[in-house]
Chains A and B, each alone.
Chain A
Amino acid sequence: MSRLKNKDTITSIALVAPSILAVGIFVYGFIAWSMRVSFSAWKGLLPDYTWVGLKNYIELFSDPRFWIDIRNTITFTSVFVIGSILLGLFLAVLLDQNLPGENFFRSLFLFPMAISFIVTGVVWRWLMNPATGTRISGFNQLFDAIGLDFLINTWHTTPRWGIAAIALAAIWQMSGFTMALYLGGLRSVPDELREAARVDGATELQIYRHIVLPMLNPVTLSALIILGHISLKVFDLIIAIAGKQLPLDVPAIYMWQATFDGYFFGRGAAIAILLLLAVSLLIIPYIIYNIRNEADL
Chain B
Amino acid sequence: MSHKKFSWMTLSFVLVLVLALTACGGGVAETEDVEPADVTEATEAPEATEAPLAEGDQVEVFSWWTGGGEAAGLEAMIEVFAVEYPDIEFVNAAVAGGAGTNARAVLATRLQAGDPPDSWQGHAGQELIGTYVAANQLEPLNFLYEQEGWLEVMPETLIPLISQDGNIYSVPVNIHRANVLWYNPAILEANGIAVPTTLDEWFAAMDVLQGTDVIPLALGEQWTVMHLYETVMLASLGPDAYNGLWDGTTAWDSAEVLAALEDFERILAYTNADSSSLTWQDAAQLVVNGDAAFNVMGDWAEGYFRELGMEPNVDYGWAAVPGTGGTFQFLSDSFVLPVSAPHRDASIAWLTTAGSRAGQEAFNPVKGSICARTDCDPALFGVYLQSAMDDWASNIVVGSLTHGVVANDSWKVEIDNALGVFLAERNIEGFQAALTAACSSSGPCP
Query: Which among B156-164, B233-241, B405-413 touches the partner chain?
Result: B405-413
Whether B274 contacts A246 by the Cβ 8 Å rule is no
Tell yes or no: B254 within 8 A of A by CB: no
Contact of B7 among A43, A117, A159, A184 (CB under 8 A): A184
Whether A187 contacts B4 by the Cβ 8 Å rule is yes
Contact of B409 among A133, A154, A261 (CB under 8 A): A261
Give complex CA distance A189, B259 in Å.
69
Q: How far is the CB of A231 from chain B (nearest CB, A)?
A: 14
| Count of interface residues, chain B, beta-carbon cutoff 8 Å | 54
Contact of A261 among B135, B276, B291, B413 (CB under 8 A): B413
Tell yes or no: A15 within 8 A of B by CB: no
Tell yes or no: A24 within 8 A of B by CB: no
Query: Which among B104-112, B326-334, B372-380 touches the partner chain?
Result: B104-112
Whether B410 contacts A129 by the Cβ 8 Å rule is no
Which residues of A lie under 8 Å from residue B434 when comparing CB positions?
64
With contacts defined as CB atoms under 8 Å apart, how many contacts are there between chain A and chain B in the complex? 140
Tell yes or no: B221 within 8 A of A by CB: yes
Tell yes or no: A239 within 8 A of B by CB: yes
Give complex CA distance A118, B26 in Å.
12
Q: How far is the CB of A152 from chain B (nearest CB, A)?
A: 12
Interface residues of B in 95-118 (CB under 8 A from A): 101, 104-105, 108, 111-112
Whether B135 contacts A243 by the Cβ 8 Å rule is no
Tell yes or no: B417 within 8 A of A by CB: yes
Interface class of chain A by DSSP: helix
Query: Which among A1-9, A44-52, A141-149, A278-286 touches the partner chain?
Result: A44-52
Give complex CA distance A187, B3 in Å.
5
Give complex CA distance A133, B133 in Å.
50
Whether A113 contacts B17 by the Cβ 8 Å rule is yes
Which residues of A lie under 8 Å from residue B423 when comparing CB positions?
246-247
Tell yes or no: A270 within 8 A of B by CB: no
Q: Mark B177-220, 1 if CB is under 8 A from A, else 0.
A: 00000000000000000000000000000000000010000000
Whether A118 contacts B32 by the Cβ 8 Å rule is yes
Using a CB–CB cutoff of 8 Å, the interface residues on chain B facing chain A are 3-4, 6-8, 10-11, 13-14, 17-18, 20-21, 24, 28-29, 31-32, 101, 104-105, 108, 111-112, 131-132, 134-135, 137, 213, 221-223, 273-277, 291, 409-410, 412-414, 416-417, 419-421, 423-425, 430, 434
Using a CB–CB cutoff of 8 Å, the interface residues on chain A facing chain B are 43-47, 63-65, 68, 110, 113-114, 116-118, 125, 128-131, 133-135, 154-157, 159-160, 177, 180-181, 183-185, 187-191, 226, 236, 239-240, 242-249, 257-258, 260-264
Q: List 24 A-B contacts (CB under 8 A).
A: A45-B111, A45-B137, A47-B112, A64-B425, A64-B434, A65-B421, A113-B17, A114-B21, A130-B273, A156-B277, A157-B277, A159-B424, A177-B14, A187-B3, A226-B18, A236-B28, A236-B32, A245-B276, A246-B424, A260-B108, A261-B413, A262-B409, A264-B410, A264-B413
Can you add 15 more A-B contacts, CB < 8 Å, to A45-B132, A64-B425, A65-B420?
A44-B135, A63-B417, A64-B434, A117-B28, A118-B31, A118-B32, A128-B277, A131-B274, A133-B213, A184-B10, A184-B11, A226-B18, A246-B424, A247-B276, A248-B276
